[in-house]
């Protein structure tokens, strides 16, 4: 209800129309970029995240911690402890 009728809750309507070209640009910018990360490494990390029940990092420190954890998992699996 809040989304459809914000005035019932004393809120304002923040609806902003967006054209399809803008949506397409956003989709393109958010797509996986193979040149930034090897696709195999990305897939392996995605598996680790799923298997270990990891959550998406919320802060830069969380992202660093996740990187270290995933790197450790990878090195362990490769016998490079």
pLDDT per position as a tens digit, 53-74: 999 899 999 999 999 999 999 9
What pTM did the predictor assign? 0.54
Smallest CA-to-CA distance from 32 within 19, 20, 41, 23 is with 41
What per-residue confidence (pLDDT) applies to 31?
A: 60
What average pLDDT does the chain have?
Answer: 84
CB atoms within 10 A of CB 60: 8
What per-residue confidence (pLDDT) applies to 1?
A: 56
Find how far residue 5's CA is from the centre of its chain. 30
pLDDT for residue 35 is more than 80 = no
CA dist., res. 77 & res. 81, Å (int): 8
């Amino acid at each position: 209800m809040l989304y459809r009728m914000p005035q019932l809750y004393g809120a304002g309507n923040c609806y902003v129309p967006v054209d399809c070209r803008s949506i397409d640009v956003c989709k393109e910018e958010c797509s996986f970029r193979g040149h930034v990360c090897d696709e195999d490494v990305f897939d392996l990390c995605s598996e680790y995240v799923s298997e270990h029940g990891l959550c998406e990092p919320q802060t830069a420190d969380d992202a660093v911690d996740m990187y270290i954890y995933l790197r450790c998992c990878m090195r362990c699996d490769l016998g490079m402890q």
